[in-house]
Structure 1
Amino acid sequence: MGTSSSFSSFSGRLAGHGGAHAVEIARHHGVDTMFTLSGGHVFPIYDGAVKPEPAVRLLDVRHEQTAVFAAEGVGKLTRRAGWAVVTAGPGVTNAVSGVATAHFNGSPLVVVGGRAPDSRWGQGLLQELDQPPLFAPITKRAWTVHETAGIGPAVDEAFTLANSAHRGPVFLDVPMDRLYDQAEVELDGRGPAADRAPDPEAVAGIARLLGEARRPVLVYGSDVWLDGAERTALEVAEELGVPVITNGQGRGVLPGGHPLLANRARGLALGNADLVVVVGTPLDFRLNHGLFGGRDGAPPAKTVHVTDSPARLATHLTLAGAASGDLSLVLRGIADGAKPGPEVERWRASVSETAAAAAATDREALGSGSAPIHPARIYGELNRLLDDDAVVIGDGGDFVSYAGKYIEPAKPGNWLDPGPFGCLGTGMGYSVAARLSRPSSQVVALFGDGAIGFSLADVDTLVRHRLPVVMVCGNNGVWGLEKAPMRMIYGYDVIADLTPQTRYDEVVRALGGGGELVTDPAEIGPALRRAFDSGVPYLVNIATDPENVYPRKTMGV
């Protein structure tokens, strides 16, 4: 039998059982590692992974959420969809938060789930559940394949969708009996060619707005990295001489210390701007929903939104300009058509002075010798040890907020955090992904003591698979994002306390890694150096001040 798919990018014959078909297509899409937790519903996929040469690596974890976060992390770091395979029922439901996180992050991801057999569906089988409806709101597509001959084309479609702008997760489940069945399939490799050329008039309109603006700001987000536009974005910023704010994986497009980087003058830049051009990130709560200007009596700023696909353009406010398509082409078109006026130089100098003043103030906190330990001191020590290509992972609340303030990546794509969905527990999966995707780079995972409880058992995964990672836990014994706001609202707090100085480091040692507890600020640097030199998963568990609250204007921002 033969079949074809309008999404086919694979050309050739597939033979054998359904699991072998799935693996062959995944390999075609650049997959070299399958993240999973052993389950009988997907045994044929494992069989397909280990028999051919070269084999697809099976990396098994202790909780399916870690498998999905690892696959999402691969997508973030390599800009090519990672692959998670989970067993039916609870295996699939455990994957939901990871898929939702990928949805909000725009991360390319393919999740294949096992499913109870078609042959006896409706008879109360083990883990019998119609799973795709769970994923419909948080994927580009979620569906079931009911024919063995359709598995290869469906997996091909899944990877093609996940890797196409706007990137995101795709879920596919396959009944167990269809995976075991045999079939032969011929695919013709005739996939659709996407036209991502931007509208030249829209681009020209944005260029005119930039030429007219006196206090413009550029904002670069994760899609600048994921769309491969990071080099063009840097060139455009420098040609225009406009202050730049970065977020998500856009951090590092302008390396730390770059004169145009305005992250430490964010309030001034966005509050006093007359034009803000937001590229590759949604106008969500992190950017005040696209409402800029108005500070110190300044009029509201005009907002421009540039996205990698039309569906991502903001619709909740009136935009002064908008464009979508290949972000490199959009940015190059804007720069070629814009001629910023002389006022921009004065504006740039003002923003730069404010950023420099903030950096000078930072030095006191970064070198703080206070006890209990100020979280900033940890980042003062860590910054001295980080290489330019280090991958830094944030999984936590207040502690990671400080990281966002004090750590500026030297390169784009090297900062991973949960993103706007705010799902704690990403850190171990992202650590696995980073160590595999960047084998020669430092990998540092920053955990709050609340977040580390979500996935600490997966240190076992790091140990078993020999994946050395430096882990740092800011251990203040409280749920910081909840305790302080609840006190502010009600005058008291409940269920916001953890046990102070819990020995998470001893758990890591028990699982085969290394670790230590630090209570003296003078010992932070030496402990971090021991972690980097250890060659094993190593946790530096640092007791921090529970009364130190990250300053926020609003909850969740």
Structure 2
Amino acid sequence: MTARHGGDTAIAEIRRHGVETMFTLSGGHVFPLYDGAVGAVGGARAGSVPGTEARPRILDVRHEQTAVFAAEATARLTRRTGLAVLTAGPGVTNGISGVTTAHFNGSPVVVLGGRAPLGRWGAGALQELDQPPLLEPVTKLAMTVTGPDTLASDVARAFTTAAAPHRGPVFLDVHMDHLFGPAGPARAGAIPDAPERPADPERLARVAELLKAARRPVLVLGSDVWMDGAEEAARAFAEELRLPVVANGQGRGILPAGHELLVTRARGAAFGDADLVIAAGTPLDFRLGYGSFGDGTAKVVHLADAPSQLVSHIRPAGSAAGDLSLLFTDLAAACAKAGVVPGTYGDWREGLRDATYAAIAGDIDLLASGADPIHPLRIYGELSKVLDDDAVVIGDGGDFVSYAGKYIEPRRPGRWLDPGPYGCLGTGLGYAIAARLARPTAQVVLLLGDGAAGLSLMDADSLVRHGLPVVLVVGNNGSWGLEKHPMRMLYGYDVAAELQEHCRYDRVVEALGGAGELVTRPDEIGPALRRAFDSGVPYLVNVATDPDISYPRKTTGV
């Protein structure tokens, strides 16, 4: 392909890295990237030139944050680097929350930004802003393309950097005159394989000795286990050692719902009584008590995909970093060599399994609650009846979605998305767009709090325009419940926490070309969900829930 402008050069490199979709919101600063993706070569249009069918699809949205969230979810679902293209100035700044979410989630994302022309730099051109310094704290790399001759190599560097463990976002902006003008030639050839990352054998031997001495161990599987492609090795390790497992983030589904070793529902007992906790592929942050278990007496082992991710705020009893598939395989061998006996943990394992069954049994009445107003748990009781094994479930919200984290247990890995530890609301519509593209034959359901719905619901228009059927379920309690109830507990009153009662979010989706309905009685939930999944269009089930019920929290995360 002959490069007519910088857009062609950049798109050729993007193709080399296997990008299938460019998520964007139209802006003049980045028109050459669109032109390159459309596939005009020497006056011919896409499809008339051999190979142009592989060009990235352009999927435009209604807010730049949605474009970045969609790119981030693509990375998390497919384990390939996602791409967002943002126009200069406010296009870039609108995407910063998405970039920050990718940073905290370790998601490989490349954000290509427009930039005012170098030839007018300093003269006050439209949307002139030095953008990389804004992105530096939340990216692995933030830079401006040096010039037309380095465009291909700079784009290649962006993708290589984003994909290298520990994965994360990269921001690269291009001066408008460099993008519109002639650029250097496109690169050719396959992407080289990444180097192996074996863990230190001595560190693994230390972990094996800790497992040999333990009587009440727990294995935590987090998002990076999935992102590092280590789900099969992790499951084999847990099953070989007969270790109770708590799933965290995208570690959910590595052991499917109902697996005898999965004790996530008994995590309180597991963490409270454990004498050894092995946390793999997840930070020891507020979600895991900052690494303090068993009243601070449990020993902690941290396993990560890169040395930079190993815990630094506590001193673990053991740690190791490397390719997590190799790590789990080599650790199993080290345990065999050390003489670890899985039967040692039998009574502990059975006790946690009994606690798991008790927790599940204790929720049966609430999941079938006939209370009016609707108890939010009834929604999850009905949803569990209609979800397929390969369904993708997305959570975007506070109190309402907290129930999802507890009561929705994926049956396969790579089928769960939530905002992650940054806790940014508004991820949902971008995640839903990406999920429908990544899993074209699976059910995709987006669970929204009514607060979160207000941050991104306009992008239901993007679902409609691009023909992406998704089921959206809003738990509508007319408030910012995550703030309202704690504020009342602290001060005896609440402010800035009320939303419109029974707000018709379903009509918003209808107005944008989809469908939906308001549900006010518990017996209406199941039939409404079935209509939604059968509709073949973006469909919002708007469930009015009891505003006085809050998710029972034990931590504020501070």
Could you tell me the TM-score, scaled by structure 1's length?
A: 0.95
Asked if 1:292 is matched to 2:289, the reply is no
2:26 to 5, 17, 38: 38
- The Cα of 1:192 is off from its aligned counterpart by 8.2
Q: Distance in 2 between matches of 1:15 and 1:496?
A: 54
1:331 to 321, 328, 333: 328
Show the counterpart of 2:430.
429
Show the counterpart of 2:220.
219
String of CA shifts for 1:515-555, please: whole Å, max 9, x gaps. 00000000000000000000000000000011111011122
Show the counterpart of 1:79.
79
Q: Which moved more, 1:143-152 or 1:345-354?
A: 143-152
Q: Which moved more, 1:158-167 or 1:426-435?
A: 158-167
Show the counterpart of 2:173.
173
Is the partner of 2:363 in helix, strand or coil? helix
2:8 to 16, 20, 23: 20
Question: How many residue pairs were aligned?
Answer: 541
Structure-to-structure mapping, 1:537-552, within 5 angstroms? 537-552=538-553
Show the counterpart of 1:200.
201
Q: Distance in 2 between matches of 1:188 and 1:496?
A: 55
C-alpha contact (below 8 Å) 1:146/1:175 kept by paired residues = no
- What amino acid is the match of 1:306? L
Show the counterpart of 1:157.
157
Show the counterpart of 1:137.
137
C-alpha contact (below 8 Å) 2:474/2:541 kept by paired residues = yes
Asked if 1:49 is matched to 2:37, the reply is yes
Show the counterpart of 2:448.
447
C-alpha contact (below 8 Å) 2:12/2:186 kept by paired residues = no
C-alpha contact (below 8 Å) 1:114/1:173 kept by paired residues = yes
Is the partner of 1:540 in helix, strand or coil? strand
Show the counterpart of 1:302.
299
- What amino acid is the match of 1:142? A
String of CA shifts for 1:495-518, please: whole Å, max 9, x gaps. 111011000001110000000000
- The Cα of 1:365 is off from its aligned counterpart by 1.1
Show the counterpart of 2:107.
107
C-alpha contact (below 8 Å) 2:221/2:248 kept by paired residues = yes
Structure-to-structure mapping, 1:368-517, within 5 angstroms? 368-517=369-518
In structure 1, the gaps of 5 or more residues are 1-12
Show the counterpart of 1:3.
none
- What amino acid is the match of 1:471? L
- The Cα of 1:181 is off from its aligned counterpart by 1.1
Structure 1 runs of 4+ aligned residues shifted over 2 Å read: 13-16, 183-195, 340-343
String of CA shifts for 1:71-109, please: whole Å, max 9, x gaps. 001000000011000000000000000000000000110
C-alpha contact (below 8 Å) 1:389/1:411 kept by paired residues = yes
Q: Distance in 2 between matches of 1:446 and 1:556?
A: 22
Q: Which moved more, 1:344-353 or 1:147-156?
A: 147-156
- What amino acid is the match of 1:326? D
Q: Distance in 2 between matches of 1:406 and 1:474?
A: 15
1:313 to 300, 310, 315: 310
Q: Distance in 2 between matches of 1:467 and 1:192?
A: 34
C-alpha contact (below 8 Å) 1:212/1:340 kept by paired residues = no
C-alpha contact (below 8 Å) 2:13/2:187 kept by paired residues = no
Structure-to-structure mapping, 1:217-296, within 5 angstroms? 217-294=218-295
- The Cα of 1:193 is off from its aligned counterpart by 4.4
- What amino acid is the match of 2:488? R
Q: Distance in 2 between matches of 1:56 and 1:193?
A: 24
- The Cα of 1:208 is off from its aligned counterpart by 1.2
String of CA shifts for 1:210-267, please: whole Å, max 9, x gaps. 1110000000000010000001111111111110000111000010111111111000
Q: Distance in 2 between matches of 1:419 and 1:110?
A: 19
In structure 2, the gaps of 5 or more residues are 40-45, 47-51
- The Cα of 1:341 is off from its aligned counterpart by 5.5
- The Cα of 1:556 is off from its aligned counterpart by 4.0
Q: Distance in 1 between matches of 2:266 and 2:186?
A: 57
C-alpha contact (below 8 Å) 1:16/1:184 kept by paired residues = no
C-alpha contact (below 8 Å) 2:73/2:434 kept by paired residues = yes
RMSD: 1.3
